[in-house]
Amino acid sequence: MLYSIALMNHLKIAIAQLNCTVGDLAGNALRLLAAAERAASLGAELMLTPELALSGYPPEDLLLRPDFYRACDRELRSLAAAAFERCPDLALLVGHPEEHQGGRYNAASLLRGGRVETTYRKHRLPNYEVFDEERYFDAGAEACVITVGGVRCGVNICADVWEPGAADAARDAGAELLLALNASPYHQNKQAQRYQVLRSRIKDTGMPVIYANLVGGQDELVFDGASFALDGRGTLTHQLPAFEEALEIVEYRAGGPLPGRIEPPLSPEAEAYAALRLGVADYLGKNGFPGAIIGLSGGVDSALTLTIAVDALGPERVRAVMMPSPYTAQMSLDDSRALAKNLGVRYQEIAIEPAMRTFAELLAPEFAGLPADATEENLQARIRGMILMALSNKSGAIVLTTGNKSEMAVGYATLYGDMAGGFAVIKDIYKTLVYRLCRYRNGLSPVIPENILTRAPSAELKPDQRDQDTLPPYEVLDAIIEAYMERDESPREIVGQGYAAADVRRVVRMLSRSEYKRRQSPVGIRITRRGFGKDWRYPITSRYQDEWQ
């Protein structure tokens, strides 16, 4: 008798790790349908998709529009009919927004037999970090258990599994296997957190878990995919690749998933680089930009940005522009030329000295009797920004800015100058990580000249200028920023860790005073636990005094 039950208790589930686009309902439905056909050809009986796969995630204020819900409902029903016509023996569990009896929900529906058979509504609505689902959705309260191939599957959506409750409700309703639809954005060390959380749910409920995650770039967020399955002991049985679409069959038999393919983990540098590459590719691809323009300086930040762009888009879609001034070192020109040649991109040089003279003459009456200061330095950055934006306007290509997180934190950037552009690729990359990523990329193939990586960083806006003339060493600067900005530690606590009070005071003061600049910066890719974007909402006008004693 037990043997016969074990034979019946058998199910092939396809994890569809898909790159969906927000608002492209028809395109996403076609992507889901193509995945369904492939899943069916591999013998799957159920296909598990990411959270809000039909609409893309996050739809943000599209979710305030009644017509958006109506369009999603029409597309969902059309998908159900098309999937049944092409894959009659396959059931689909599809994430989508739903308007139901006066409420709005983050939902997942079982499509089977050409219709929407049943719907689960997410219980836990995250309202932290980059999430604000309480702004849009009502919380569901009912458990949902679907039976496919004799297996009773409980359904949860993303944040449901991050704390007890929803998974327990599914088990209590009779589930033996937990299916989790997710749109969990990447940040460093995120996968380890996911494993830990899901193992806690397994310990609580005794149910194995199959976890399907979204992949792809959406504005500042990058979803890494990296879907997986864990058995009832919390052992990893399947691990899908990160930062690419994938479809994997998980065979569930006699109470657990059978061992399958486990993709090896990426190094921290490989992971971050892949996130940046995917973020660039999808931001330009999904928004229809024909290419990218990067202003080179001969420094490490622009070198990394250019290299990522080429790896994401191909050299034929990337243009590099060097705009030397009288303060530009010859080695900066030499290194920029070498980098562009190594990467095979279109490269040109446009000297800014004529424009500098024009502005000097124009402003001479206003500046008479006043000493030269940062004003003249910022003019150089703004001339360069104006040139890049003119090239962008004329060609349709987007300017990728090159400022890193360390600079953005302390305002070491010029409004309407080097901050001018449409997408900030390394906005969330600390300077120390910039160097590590360059070393990682050169380990694949040596494209960034060694001199760029060994020379002292400089903005080259005046003679003999060095970044460290006005900033602490980057190792110190980055550590202070991370403690204050990502971990919300007070200056007193940071000083208590051994950092000089003068350095902490200077960094915190610069960070606070630069909020008005950051608010005007382009959107950029988030890879840390907290970036200067959706999850950083500090007031520009504030007289708060940090804790020092």
Report the catalytic residues: 51, 122, 158
* Three-point CA angle 190, 191, 194, nearest 5°: 90
Positive or negative, the CA dihedral 53, 56, 57, 62 is negative
Structure tokens at 359: 């502005």
E strand or H helix at 545: none
d(C-alpha 86, C-alpha 67), whole Å: 28
CB atoms within 10 A of CB 109: 26
d(C-alpha 213, C-alpha 191), whole Å: 11
Matching residue, tokens 């739903």: 98
Angstrom CA distances, 427 to 292, 433, 484, 489, stand at 16, 12, 17, 22
CB atoms within 10 A of CB 419: 23
Type of residue at 146: I
For 393, phi then psi, to 5°, come to: -60, -40
Q: Which residues have C-beta within 8 Å of that of residue 21, sequence separation ≥ 6?
A: 27, 28, 56, 216, 218, 286
Most distant CA atoms of the chain, gap in Å: 99
Can you point out the beta strands (E) in 158-239? 177-182, 209-213, 215-218, 221-224, 228-230, 236-239
Would you tell me the crossing angle of helices 431-444 and 268-287 to the nearest 10 degrees?
90
Structure tokens at 264: 């090896």
Residue 104 DSSP class: E
Q: Are strands 115-121 and 236-239 parallel, antiparallel or unpaired?
A: unpaired
Helices (H) and strands (E) in the chain, counts: 17, 20
Exposed, middle or buried by CB within 10 Å (0-12, 13-18, 19+), for 60? middle
CB atoms within 10 A of CB 337: 17
* DSSP SS3 for 121: strand
CB atoms within 10 A of CB 384: 24
Contact in structure between 275 and 287 (CB atoms under 8 Å): no
Can you point out the beta strands (E) in 85-139? 91-100, 103-112, 115-121
Contact in structure between 352 and 360 (CB atoms under 8 Å): no
Contact in structure between 209 and 202 (CB atoms under 8 Å): yes
* Three-point CA angle 192, 196, 200, nearest 5°: 170
